[in-house]
């Protein structure tokens, strides 16, 4: 027990000093984030080799390992929490959520059961109610918190599979899939890779899907849907990972409902359009679906590892995620493990609650609209500089190309090496393009201008290098 001038504390002196050290390192990192290279340079990456050592025989002072993490690890991180990272639809982190996460780490709660953590159970319940309201979902919709949209898609598809087979008098939990009746899976031809991963893991076969053609923006063509029936699972998309386009949910859901089919919405980053009045037209009809997957760590800017599964059929989701054992102590309150595949897990609801509460409805709308506005700025400014914008910029994604594919690829390589910003590449309509994903609340108009200048400079260097190659 230690004493200071104000109060007595039970925190061991070494732990207090360690937490203070971590606090100072964290503030140093945050204070310098805008001045750090967005992608680490080669020399800082090379220093990571210092971590590559045999398992130590003796214990290490915690202060020494923290110093190593900050001194060696921090310079080699990717500055995703700054304003000029535009890769992989990765968001920043809201200040309130970061503070809440620090406190939750000290709590170290396991929210599997109410008796394990009444606090986190209550926060999960509140988040469920708030998201039902935000996305205009049925009152009985169930929420589960998982690692990311890969697992939330898995949960939604598992619930759909089990329900569609139950309608054919087949109990998957009891009988498995051997000898089960067939069900149909209908997806757009530009569905995300995680959809096919989920189908593969759940025994539905990623090669057995019925692919629906997409338009030039990647939207599923509702008129090209096959005739559906009550054995059909239709997986739609809120936010094409390249173009940001949204499927026509209203038409698809109406067709599905008339056939008693199940509709899942993969809304990893795009479902948050439902929280903005100016973008809600993109979301129209999505609330008619049966299940939805979304990440809080993308557009909403909660910390990573915060995926959400929502399902209007609460009992169906619980049945698909079921686990029983004599030692499990159920309660009349919310037992979080009922809605997820895992039992032990971290208390994701704490930072989700903190993000939602700190922003409120107006703040969520402002955040979504701010990201979309920055994407529009990118499109307009790059177009004025002679770049080609290949998609309709309806949300936060911008697809950029130069005059020819070789120049596009060389320009992207220079951008990624610059340290000024970072964008990813993808293939769009069979040609390489640069993909800008505007996902951080930190991104300002100045960040856009600075990044556009980097694009221009990178293209100039690429043109010079290609001209030299041609001359040789």
> Are the CB atoms for 231 and 191 separated by under 8 Å?
no
**Which of 339, 357, 375 lies at the terminal end of a domain, its last residue?**
357
Residue 463 burial by CB count (10 A; 0-12/13-18/19+): exposed, middle or buried?
A: middle
Q: How far apart are CA 460 and CA 451, in angstroms?
A: 14
Are 369 and 432 contained in the same domain? yes
Nearest to 212 by CA among 244, 193, 185, 194: 185
DSSP type of residue 346: -
Are 193 and 105 contained in the same domain? yes
> Are the CB atoms for 251 and 279 separated by under 8 Å?
no
Number of domains in the chain: 3
Spell out the residues 6+ positions from residue 180 whose beta carbon is closer than 8 angstroms to its own: 165, 170, 172
Cα 43 → chain centroid: 30
Q: How far apart are CA 243 and CA 436, in angstroms?
A: 10
Strand 397-401 to 431-437 pairing: antiparallel
Q: How far apart are CA 32 and CA 30, in angstroms?
A: 5
Are 278 and 366 contained in the same domain? no
Are 333 and 365 contained in the same domain? no
Concatenating the DSSP letter of every residue in 109-139 gives: --TTSGGG-HHHHHHHHHHHHHHHHHTT--T
Are 207 and 341 contained in the same domain? yes
The pair phi, psi for residue 336, each rounded to 5°, is: -60, -30
- The CATH code of the domain that includes 266 is 3.40.640.10
- The CATH code of the domain that includes 450 is 3.90.1150.10
For residue 311, CA distances in Å to 134, 161, 336, 451 come to 15, 13, 14, 40
Count CB atoms within 10 A of the CB of residue 20: 10
Helix (H, G, I), strand (E, B) or coil at 85: strand
For residue 134, CA distances in Å to 5, 142, 288 come to 47, 14, 14
Are 240 and 308 contained in the same domain? yes
For residue 3, CA distances in Å to 20, 43, 52, 121, 131 come to 16, 44, 40, 35, 44
Query: Taking each helix axis from N to C terminus, what angle separates 149-166 and 193-201, rounded to the nearest 10 degrees?
Result: 50
Are 261 and 391 contained in the same domain? no
pLDDT of residue 207: 86
CA 467-469-472 angle, to 5 degrees, is: 110
CA 293-130-246 angle, to 5 degrees, is: 35
Spell out the residues 6+ positions from residue 197 whose beta carbon is closer than 8 angstroms to its own: 150, 154, 206
Per-residue pLDDT tens listing for the chain (472 residues): 444 445 656 778 889 999 999 999 999 999 999 999 999 999 999 999 999 999 999 999 999 999 999 999 999 999 999 999 999 998 899 999 999 999 999 999 999 999 999 999 999 999 999 999 999 999 999 999 999 999 999 999 999 999 999 999 999 999 999 999 999 999 999 999 999 999 999 999 988 999 999 999 999 999 999 999 999 999 999 999 999 999 999 999 999 999 999 999 999 999 999 999 999 999 999 999 999 999 999 999 999 999 999 999 999 999 999 888 999 999 999 999 999 999 999 999 999 999 999 999 999 999 999 999 999 999 999 999 999 999 999 999 999 999 999 999 999 999 999 999 999 999 999 999 999 999 999 999 999 999 999 999 999 999 999 998 888 7
- Report yes or no on 260 lying in a domain: yes
Are 254 and 199 contained in the same domain? yes
Structural domain that includes position 57 = 2-79
- Report yes or no on 89 lying in a domain: no
**Which of 303, 328, 357 lies at the terminal end of a domain, its last residue?**
357
Are 275 and 255 contained in the same domain? yes
- Report yes or no on 88 lying in a domain: no
- Report yes or no on 353 lying in a domain: yes
- Report yes or no on 37 lying in a domain: yes
Count CB atoms within 10 A of the CB of residue 325: 6
- Report yes or no on 214 lying in a domain: yes
Structure tokens of 15?
Answer: 């732990």
Structure tokens of 163?
Answer: 């329900």
In 305-406, at which residue ranges do the beta strands (DSSP E only) sit?
307-311, 388-389, 397-401
Are 467 and 325 contained in the same domain? no
Are 349 and 372 contained in the same domain? no
Q: How far apart are CA 183 and CA 228, in angstroms?
A: 11
> Are the CB atoms for 357 and 333 separated by under 8 Å?
no
- Report yes or no on 91 lying in a domain: no
Are 68 and 119 contained in the same domain? no
For residue 320, CA distances in Å to 163, 165, 339 come to 9, 12, 8
**Which of 22, 50, 79 lies at the terminal end of a domain, its last residue?**
79
Query: Taking each helix axis from N to C terminus, what angle separates 405-418 and 445-471, rounded to the nearest 10 degrees?
Result: 120
- Report yes or no on 427 lying in a domain: yes
């Amino acid at each position: 027990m230690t004493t200071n001038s104000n109060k007595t504390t039970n925190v061991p002196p070494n732990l207090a000093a360690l937490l203070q050290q971590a606090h100072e390192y964290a503030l140093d990192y945050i204070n310098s984030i805008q001045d750090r290279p967005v992608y680490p340079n080669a020399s800082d990456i090379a220093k990571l080799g210092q971590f590559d050592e045999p398992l130590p025989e003796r214990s290490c002072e915690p202060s020494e390992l923290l110093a190593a993490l900050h001194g060696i690890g921090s310079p080699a991180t990717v500055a995703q929490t700054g304003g000029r990272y535009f890769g992989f639809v990765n968001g920043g982190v809201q200040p309130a959520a970061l503070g809440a996460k620090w406190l939750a780490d000290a709590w170290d709660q396991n929210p599997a059961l109410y008796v394990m953590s009444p606090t986190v159970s209550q926060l999960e319940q509140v988040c469920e109610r708030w998201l039902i309201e935000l996305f205009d979902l049925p009152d009985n919709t169930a929420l589960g918190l998982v690692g990311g949209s890969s697992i939330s898609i898995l949960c939604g598809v598992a619930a759909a599979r089990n329900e569609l087979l139950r309608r054919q008098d087949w109990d998957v939990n009891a009988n498995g899939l051997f000898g089960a009746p067939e069900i149909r899976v209908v997806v757009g031809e530009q569905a995300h890779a995680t959809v096919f991963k989920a189908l593969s893991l759940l025994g539905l076969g990623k090669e057995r899907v019925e692919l629906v053609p997409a338009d030039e923006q990647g939207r599923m063509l509702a008129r090209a849907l096959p005739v559906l029936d009550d054995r059909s699972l239709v997986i739609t998309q809120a936010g094409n990972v390249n173009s940001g386009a949204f499927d026509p949910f209203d038409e698809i859901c109406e067709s599905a409902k008339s056939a008693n089919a199940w509709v899942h919405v993969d809304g990893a980053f795009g479902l948050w359009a439902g929280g903005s009045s100016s973008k809600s037209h993109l979301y129209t009809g999505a609330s008619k679906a049966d299940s939805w997957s979304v990440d809080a760590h993308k557009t909403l800017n909660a910390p990573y590892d915060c995926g959400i599964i929502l399902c209007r059929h609460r009992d169906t989701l619980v049945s698909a995620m079921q686990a029983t054992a004599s030692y499990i102590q159920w309660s009349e309150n919310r037992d979080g493990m009922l809605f997820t595949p895992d039992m032990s897990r971290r208390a994701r609801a704490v930072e989700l609650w903190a993000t939602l509460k700190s922003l409120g409805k107006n703040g969520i709308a402002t955040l979504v609209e701010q990201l979309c506005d920055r994407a529009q700025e990118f499109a307009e400014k790059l177009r004025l500089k002679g770049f080609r914008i290949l998609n309709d910029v309806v949300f936060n994604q911008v697809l950029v190309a130069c005059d020819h594919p070789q120049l596009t690829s060389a320009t992207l390589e220079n951008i990624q090496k610059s340290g000024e910003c970072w964008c990813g590449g993808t293939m769009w309509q069979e040609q390489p393009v640069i993909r800008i994903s505007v996902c951080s609340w930190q991104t300002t108009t100045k960040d856009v201008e600075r990044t556009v200048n980097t694009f221009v400079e990178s293209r100039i260097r690429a043109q010079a290098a290609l001209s030299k190659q041609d001359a040789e």
